[in-house]
Every structure is written in C-alpha cells, then in structure tokens.
Amino acid sequence: MAKITDEFLTVIGGLLEMYGQQASTTKVNIYWSTIGQYPIDSLRRAANAWVRKSEFMPKPADLIKLMGGAGNHLSPDEAWSIAILASDENNTVVWTNEIAKAWAQAEIVYRNGDKIGARRTFIEAYERLVNESMMYCRPIEFFVSLGNDKSRRVDAINHAIFTGLLTQERAEHYLPKPENNFAMLECKTEQGASDNSLSHIANIRQMLKIGRACVTSS
C-alpha cells in the first residue's frame, strides 16, 4: 500500500480535530485504505461539503458518496456524445479515462469510415472499462484534452463547469487567469488558517511513525 500523504493527513486530521475526536493509527489507516485512492481535491471538497451539513464525524462511506463513488459513470450514450468530439482535433474534450480509452479503440474504426461500427466498438469497450473500474472502486475523474483551436477551449471548459463535469477550481487551471489584486492576501490568509492545525497534523504523523515502528519490531 502507498504511503499516506501529507495532504491526506491534513484533510482527515482536520476533520478529526474539528469533531473533537482522538486520532489513532488504526482509524487513520482505515480512512486511508478506503478513500486514499481518491483525488485529494475531490476528498477536500467532500470534507468541506460535509462539515457544512453535519455535526458528526463522517465515515469513509459518507465521503465516498459525496465524491460520487464509483457507480456514477456516464451512460454509454452520454459518453459517446463526448467521445465523438475527439474526432475533430480542434475540439477541446472533457472526459474520463474510461471514455478516452474506449475512444482510442473506436477511433480506428471511425477513421476507416464505419461510424456505426465505431459507436458499437466504443460502447462495448466503455462498458467493459466501467465495469472494471467499479470492480476495483476506482474514482471517477474528468480531465481536459486540449484541442488545437484555442478559441473553442473556453466554451468547452465553461460547458463542462455548467454540466458538472468540472469544478470551477479545476477549470481555472485551463481558463485565462484574470488579474486578482487580492490573490496574495487570500494566500496568506489561507496559510495562516492552516497553520493552526499543523501541530495536530504533526502529532498524527508522529503517531503513525510510532505505529509502524511497533509493527516492524514485533
């Protein structure tokens, strides 16, 4: 199993601190083994959403539900409507790994002029890939494949925000950066707020080291 990251400890440690719960090696490891594979940005958003609605510490299943779980993939028809955009290299496409991989198989058929066969190939591959992802509880993550036409990028990304495929935070990486006179102030404010939890996170990190040492020496 991969090593627990500092970013993950910050999120889970922050939740434990906020809800007044004592951290333990077992507890942190359970969270890591069940939700550690999810993108840290998704986990951070899920944690923020949870604290706004509940006064109780979330279970891993609660956070997985907020992150969309592994069973909320687009339908084959929805996925195809996205994949077909990639037939034009000028288009910017927002899609998942499953859609991209299925299109890679269908594209060969499509370029040979068999559009009906390409759609059938895509759907068969997509369903197989989705079933495999669900079997291994892989999280759903959309990413951007930038097209050659820069004028279409903003529209494509804004549409992905509108339809919920991308968050505003994620999309800002691809959108033109506006001037922000308050950026430095906000950065300092956020850093100051996180510093209040550094001691708590450090204690959890030390606890995990002790726990590993005990396992190694036993």
Domain extents in the chain: 1-69, 76-171
8 A C-beta contact, residue 11 and residue 194: no
Place 38 in a pLDDT band, splitting at 50, 70 and 90: confident
Between the CA of residue 119 and those of 76, 107, 149, 214, what are the distances in Å? Answer: 10, 9, 25, 55
Q: Which of 175, 102, 116, 176 is nearest to 144 (CA)?
A: 175
Helix (H, G, I), strand (E, B) or coil at 58: coil
Q: Is the pLDDT of residue 189 over 50?
A: no
* Closest alpha carbon to 39 in 143, 156, 177: 143
**Lowest pLDDT segment from 106-110, 169-173, 189-193, 202-206:** 189-193
Mean pLDDT computed over 132-148? 82
Pair 142, 94: CB distance under 8 Å:
yes
Report if pTM > 0.75: no
d(CA 49, CA 94): 24
**Cβ–Cβ under 8 Å, residues 90 and 147:** yes
Tens-place pLDDT, residues 59-94: 998 888 787 655 568 889 999 999 999 999 999 999
Cα separation, 177 vs 96, whole angstroms: 25
Q: What are phi and psi of 20, to 5 degrees?
A: 65, 30
Q: For residue 70, how many other CB atoms are within 10 A of its CB?
A: 18
